[in-house]
Amino acid sequence: MVAVRYIGAEQVTFQWGNTLPLPPDLPVYKRPEAEFFTFAKKADYLPIYATLDFSNLPPENQPIEIAIYIDGVCKGAEKIKGEEVQIKAYLDTDDMANFHDKVISFELKSPDKSANEVIQNFAIQNPMTNGFELRNTIPEYCQSYMEVSLKPKDIADAGVPAITKLGNNYPNPFNPETTIRFDLAKSGKAKLEVYNIKGQLIKTLVNGEPKPVTIR
């Protein structure tokens, strides 16, 4: 899989299949690899475009690497060369099968800190609304890529889920536990009930007026 994303203000064109050879004096670019995180590379990966904020940090204290963790396991890491970085999140078979039930977090490696900084609060951009939402799971609308912001302002301004939606339970089938996630786009009375195949009420999980949020 190849994902192409251009960051800039000028009009550009891109075309696959350019057969013109490179000039002999043009060096081949090799992307530097992360040194402080361990992960397994896979055939498939999810491109994650992360935006950082270094405005309050001197250059010597700025993070040098960023990693993404899915359900507590490092799935990819990159060296940081600016405030925008693309991370390749390598996914295995289980990740792909239960893609949108995964809890994600980020870790930053800084030269002046012995321990990595763990980031569990961040904003994910909804391409349908162009707004940011506070989440710690991979949303359904992120099918081929994901844009996240670790900037405090974007996190503070992030809105609630755009629509009210009941997600699939995971695992399914299950024994004895499963997880059900639903999004609330606005405050109001909400009730979540579980019925058996005969239509009999088994249990009421939620019955009240929760605030707009993603609940698992």
DSSP 59: G
108: Cα within 13 Å, side-chain hemisphere = 20
Q: Do residues 182 and 167 lie in contact, with contact meaning Cβ atoms separated by under 8 Å?
A: yes
In 136-208, beta strands by DSSP E: 146-149, 165-166, 182-183, 190-195, 201-208
- Rounded to the nearest integer, the mean pLDDT of the chain is 80
Predicted pLDDT of residue 184: 74
Q: Give tens-digit pLDDT for 46-67.
A: 899 999 998 888 888 899 999 9
User: What number of residues does the chain have?
Assistant: 216
For residues 136 and 139, give the distance between their C-alpha atoms in angstroms, rounded to a whole number: 9
pLDDT at site 153: 84
Average pLDDT for 73-81: 94
Residue 22 confidence class, pLDDT cut points 50, 70, 90: low
d(CA 75, CA 77): 7
Closest to 99 (Cα-Cα) out of 166, 175, 148, 45:
45
The residue with greater pLDDT, 21 or 107, is: 107
pLDDT band with cut points at 50, 70 and 90 for residue 158: confident
Instruction: Read off the pLDDT band of 162 (50, 70, 90).
Output: low
- What domains sit in the chain, N to C, each tagged with a CATH number? 45-157 (2.60.40), 165-215 (no CATH)
